[in-house]
Chain A
Amino acid sequence: MEKIIAGKNITVNEEGYLTDFNQWDEKVGEAIAAEANVPLSPRHWEILKYLQDEHKNQVALSIRRIGKSGVTDIKEFYQLFPVAPLKTATKIAGIPKPASCI
């Protein structure tokens, strides 16, 4: 479905995740972050960039992997994105929600 984010028409799924990363830019990221009540600091951006790179390289994202990434640790990740951090951060970064295997 279509949603207006930061003044642009953006395609998102039912949960609000972008379905096309090409539609993402920093303004869109900021708008999604504001909606999730996460004010973005330079530190947030470093982690968001890291998540986007991992996604580009087709690495499956998990809290565990982020804890071992060297970019941040789990504690800080939670401080930066307090509620369901991986789900929130990926949404802001414009990448798909990580699939939790069953």
Chain B
Amino acid sequence: MKNIVILGAGTAGTMMANHLHHQLKHPEWQITIIDEREEHHYQPGYLFLPFDIYSPEDIVKTIEEFIPKDVKLIKQQINRIVPTENKIQLADGSELPYDILIIATGAKIAPEETEGMKGSEWQKSVFDFYTFEGSLALRNKLREWDGGKLVVHITEMPIKCPVAPLEFAFLADSFFKHKHMRDKVEITYVTPLSGAFTKPKATEALEHLLHEKGIHIEPDFAIERVDNEKKEIVDYGGKVIPFDLLVTVPTNKGDELMERSGMGDDLNYVPTHKATLQSINYQNVFVLGDASNIPASKAGSVAHFEAEILTENILRYVHGEPLKEEFDGHANCFIETGNGKALLIDFNYTHEPVEGSFPFAGIGPLRLLKESRMNHMGKLAFRWIYWNVLLKGTHIPFVSATMSEKGKHYA
């Protein structure tokens, strides 16, 4: 019997288990998936929890219910990968051999990377919303906060779901409007990038929205430290921004497991071939989701497209065929813009997000790069799709893993 081991039962690992168990069956193959947690979180929900739009029950389920019965689930911390011996060491000291390894251990925040971030004001006036605990603590804070300077901040790129902090700023604007206290809140959006986003057309559209909503933007800000006493963030160039409430996205990193195994880069991401998803250093190791270093968005939608392509490539690998260089960096994200509206962007390694219609060229019903209520319904529907379609590895009708250029207004 041969072993496929999947590390991490989050978005990407769960999808791979669901894809592969149809293809590689007992008694020839045993699929095993390992995760240290009990719960599967719908992370996009962390954006809505602080504003009381979702409640904890909406975004937390057990890992078990999404893992097929014939896949073995081990609930333990993974201590080390020994790629030269094709085995995994678990926290209890036991070992597990593999023929094929799939790394899907994701990314997480590392506030300790920035001086003073996890200081005396942590979860008092300095919050993150990239963890369940952070997002819940922020909800409790926002329920009683009476206004002042709100600073929404990105520490450094890359981060998961790079538009989430912008969405947070938009939703905050609409949250305070509904509470009739928008005039008491000054919102500043602070980013290490030169603008609201990395791609020109989307940046233009998003900066227009920031302006419209009276949100001030501070670009090119590379944070050096958080001053807990003065309640300021200070950048390496000496720029200072005061806050009453700091909502920051700390540095994101891959799991320390990669450091222990000598398999990560300086941010613990695993060097991966961007079109085949095979790891650069080991032929029988594949990487998908946030754990890889490929230059695509760290997003659930990306993991979904990757999973379809990686499943094919693993079958090719098993049959000794050459891998398909098919992944094009396709990402598809809804961007909540507040007041019951959202934008939709669709892009890949080479094509930036532009205006148009989706998924049917010229028809829609979703509009690309334009605010609409339909897009907002799409974003909310995404949660249902996530739990009921995406995790199960079901193909979404009409949306292909590689990006379509039809119906898009490229200049």
Give the B-binding residues of A (Cβ under 8 A).
62-65, 68, 74-75, 77-78, 82-85, 87, 99-102
Contact = CB atoms under 8 A, between A and B. Distances in A.
B12 interface: no
Contact of B237 (A64, A82, A101): A82
A68 B267 CA distance: 12
B162 interface: yes
B295 interface: yes
B194 interface: yes
Contact of A101 (B192, B238, B266, B295): B295
Given A78-B236, A84-B220, A101 B157 contact: yes
B220 A100 contact: no
Given A74-B236, A84-B194, A102 B157 contact: yes
Interface string B273-311: 000000000000000000000011100000000000000
B197 interface: yes
B295 A63 contact: no
Contacts of A78: 222, 236-238
A75 B223 CA distance: 11
B236 A102 contact: no
B193 interface: yes
B227 interface: no
Given A101-B157, A101-B295, A102-B198, A64 B162 contact: no
B220 A64 contact: no
B239 to A, nearest CB: 10
Nearest to A77: B236
Interface in B181-231: 192-194, 197-199, 220, 222, 224
A75 B220 contact: no
Contacts of B267: 64
5 contacts: A63-B222, A68-B266, A78-B237, A84-B220, A100-B192
B232 interface: no
B224 A100 contact: no
Contacts of A101: 157-158, 198, 295-297
Given A64-B266, A99-B295, A102-B297, A74 B194 contact: no
Interface of B: 156-158, 162, 192-194, 197-199, 220, 222, 224, 236-238, 266-267, 295-297
Given A78-B238, A102-B157, 7 more contacts: A68-B266, A74-B236, A78-B236, A83-B220, A99-B198, A101-B295, A102-B297
A85 B266 CA distance: 20
Nearest to B161: A102
A35 to B, nearest CB: 17
Contacts of A83: 220, 237
Q: What are the 10 tightest A-B residue pairs by CB atom distance, in nearest-first order? A: A78-B236, A101-B158, A102-B198, A100-B157, A84-B220, A102-B162, A101-B295, A78-B237, A74-B236, A102-B297
Contacts of A87: 194
Contact of A102 (B156, B194, B197, B224): B197
A35 B157 CA distance: 28
Contact of A65 (B198, B237, B266): B266
A99 B156 CA distance: 13
B193 A100 contact: yes
Nearest to A63: B222
A64 B197 contact: no
A62 B297 CA distance: 17
A63 B224 contact: no
B236 A64 contact: no
Nearest to B221: A84
A64 B267 CA distance: 9
Contacts of A100: 157-158, 192-193, 198
A102 B237 contact: no
A87 B224 CA distance: 18
B44 to A, nearest CB: 16
Contacts of B224: 74-75
Most chain B CB atoms below 10 A, which of A63, A87, A100: A100
Nearest to B238: A78
A69 to B, nearest CB: 10
Nearest to B197: A102
Contacts of A75: 224, 236
A59 B175 CA distance: 43
A74 B222 contact: yes
Nearest to A65: B266
Nearest to B331: A102
